[in-house]
Amino acid sequence: MTPRLFSLLKDAALTAFVAAALGLFIVGFRTVDVGSTKGLAFDYELVDLAVAVVAIFVGRLGLSFASDGQRWPALVLGAVLGAVGAAPVRLPSTFLHWFVGLAGLLVIGRSLWPSAERAFGQARQSPQGRKLGVVGARWLAWVLLAAAVILPITPLADQKTMDLGVLILTYVMLGWGLNIVVGLAGLLDLGYVAFYAVGAYSYALLSTQWGLGFWAVLPLAGAFAATFGLVLGFPVLRLRGDYLAIVTLGFGEIIRLVLINWVDLTNGPAGIGGIPGPTLFGAVFAENAPPGQKTFAEMMGVPFDGTQRLIFLYYIILGLALITNLFALRLRRLPVGRAWEALREDEIACRALGINPTNTKLTAFAIGAMLAGFAGSFFAAKQRFVSPESFVFIESAIILAIVVLGGMGSQIGVVLAAVLLIGLPEWFRELGTYRMLAFGLAMVLIMIFRPRGLIAHRAPSLRLHEKPSGGGG
């Protein structure tokens, strides 16, 4: 036995020991209720623990081999783990099968990673690879858009898919809105959902109290939310970084508490129901039209179908999101957009160049708020019910996570991150208890492999020279 091998074995044993020590209390035994008179008893699952510890020992050894550059021993160990995981031998639980199998995959992946990375790097450097990269970057957005447009007319469009599509697109729109504030202007806003709430309650109140329709309220909701953004931004935008984050966090909570406590206006925690949905040229989406109105099915002369309404909502949010995107892309190429990015990079230099930092930040904040207001009024029209519970901090956190995960300032990154963050937990529902575990694993993997977000590349807002052909990145 070489000293090197010995040290690897020792390291693996140590890891296994730590795992055993930790796992003893978490996996090893648990208390069970054995009836009212006998009280609690222990239920031992030491076999589970032993299997897990052995898997960790072998897995760690495999990883050490792999990082040592000894590919074959690592591959063998990984294959053994994978085989045990997949084999029909009876491990005490299915979870253990998954655990061992995934550990094997991890070891195999780790041992193949260096050569895969090298091959990938070479492919990227080769002329064909470069061409593919350029074409891919150019067409990815259009392919995604085309897919989004035709999705409702494909056979995939059942109730569940359309619901999920509407949900994802709502978050895409919110992400694009927040991207202006966080990604471009660099203002960390932890209370973005407050403006979403303002938009939602604007539509809920104006429609139920004054009978205004969705299309009339949409611009109003944006204007209200932008006003809130200005009112909040004016005093607080002189704060920087962490301080701004805290204040916006507080503002988000204040709005929610006001919604809960101002019962006369908002009906408090019970929320506002009976909000009318959006109409298409005056036609409503319902089985029976209210007096004086026609249903969509009557107008088009087609039989009523529940998914019609969902598809209509889908196209509305798709349109709103695309408008948001165009708006943001356009602003980025204007002086105001460049000033936002410059402020993010260096505020002091901006002041020296005669740029008014407060006004510039305020525009970013207000525009971001306005877009959230649009999304909010759509949300109210879709749900037909709003209550303060929809506007909790975790919503702000998810939207922020979408922006950060997508790569700050990247539009297409936001789409990918929204699909991942909103879509994955829904698709993972079948995993049951392990849903959030799988979700967390996906997050960790992204942070390891793409620490600056899914799309970290920043395209210049304008160029002096033509883009060199084939030199994408």
Partner 1 sequence: MTADQALIDVEHLTMRFGGLVAIDDVSFKAQPRQITAIIGPNGAGKTTVFNCITGFYKPTIGRLTLRGDREYLLERMLGHEIGQQARVARTFQNIRLFPGMTVLENLMVAQHNKLMRASGMSVFGLLGLNRYRVAEAAAVEKARGWLERIDLVVDADRPAGELPYGAQRRLEIARAMCTEPCLLCLDEPAAGLNPRESAELNELLVSIRDRDGIGVLLIEHDMSVVMRISDHVVVLDYGRKIAEGVPDDVRRDPAVIHAYLGTGEEGADA
User: Residues interacting with partner 1, by CB under 8 A?
Assistant: 327, 330-331, 334-336, 338-339, 341-342, 345-346, 348-357, 363, 458, 460-465
DSSP 171-239: HHHHHHHHIIIIIIS----S-THHHHHHHHHHHHHHHHHH---HHHHHHHHHHHHHHHHHHHHHHHTTS
Which of residues 118 and 138 has its CB atom nearest to partner 1 in the complex?
138
Which of residues 93 and 356 has its CB atom nearest to partner 1 in the complex?
356
Minimum distance of partner 1 from residue 349's CB (angstroms):
4
Minimum distance of partner 1 from residue 315's CB (angstroms):
24
Which of residues 104 and 409 has its CB atom nearest to partner 1 in the complex?
409
48 and 90 in contact (C-beta within 8 Å)?
no
Which of residues 60 and 344 has its CB atom nearest to partner 1 in the complex?
344
Which of residues 327 and 393 has its CB atom nearest to partner 1 in the complex?
327
225 and 195 in contact (C-beta within 8 Å)?
yes
Minimum distance of partner 1 from residue 357's CB (angstroms):
7
Minimum distance of partner 1 from residue 287's CB (angstroms):
42
Cβ neighbours of residue 69 closer than 8 Å, sequence gap 6 or more: 114
Which of residues 429 and 465 has its CB atom nearest to partner 1 in the complex?
465
Q: How many residues does the chain have?
A: 473
Q: What is the 3-state secondary structure (H, E, C) of 315-349?
A: HHHHHHHHHHHHHHHHHHHCHHHHHHHHHHHCHHH
Minimum distance of partner 1 from residue 404's CB (angstroms):
16
Q: How far is CA 78 from CA 66, 262, 286, in A?
A: 10, 60, 57
313 and 166 in contact (C-beta within 8 Å)?
yes
Which of residues 10 and 238 has its CB atom nearest to partner 1 in the complex?
238
Kindly state the helix (H) or strand (E) to which residue 32 belongs, with its residue range. strand 29-33
278 and 314 in contact (C-beta within 8 Å)?
no
- Phi/psi of residue 29, each to 5°? -150, 155
Kindly state the helix (H) or strand (E) to which residue 29 belongs, with its residue range. strand 29-33
Minimum distance of partner 1 from residue 239's CB (angstroms):
17
Cα dihedral: 65, 68, 70, 73 (round 10): -10
Minimum distance of partner 1 from residue 333's CB (angstroms):
8
Sequence letter at residue 152: P
Q: What is the DSSP letter of 434?
A: G
Report the SS3 class of residue 41.
strand
Report the SS3 class of residue 208.
helix
409 and 231 in contact (C-beta within 8 Å)?
no
Which of residues 168 and 404 has its CB atom nearest to partner 1 in the complex?
404
Q: What is the DSSP letter of 275?
A: P
- Distance from C-alpha of 412 to C-alpha of 166, rounded to nearest angstrom: 18
Which of residues 352 and 448 has its CB atom nearest to partner 1 in the complex?
352
- Distance from C-alpha of 280 to C-alpha of 288, rounded to nearest angstrom: 15
Minimum distance of partner 1 from residue 342's CB (angstroms):
4
Minimum distance of partner 1 from residue 413's CB (angstroms):
16
Which of residues 275 and 342 has its CB atom nearest to partner 1 in the complex?
342
CB-count exposure of residue 290 (10 Å: 0-12, 13-18, 19+): exposed
Minimum distance of partner 1 from residue 339's CB (angstroms):
5
Q: What is the DSSP letter of 305?
A: -
Which of residues 1 and 352 has its CB atom nearest to partner 1 in the complex?
352
Minimum distance of partner 1 from residue 335's CB (angstroms):
4
Minimum distance of partner 1 from residue 189's CB (angstroms):
20
Structure tokens at 456: 């970290």
Structure tokens at 335: 């002086």
Which of residues 115 and 461 has its CB atom nearest to partner 1 in the complex?
461
Q: What is the DSSP letter of 51?
A: H
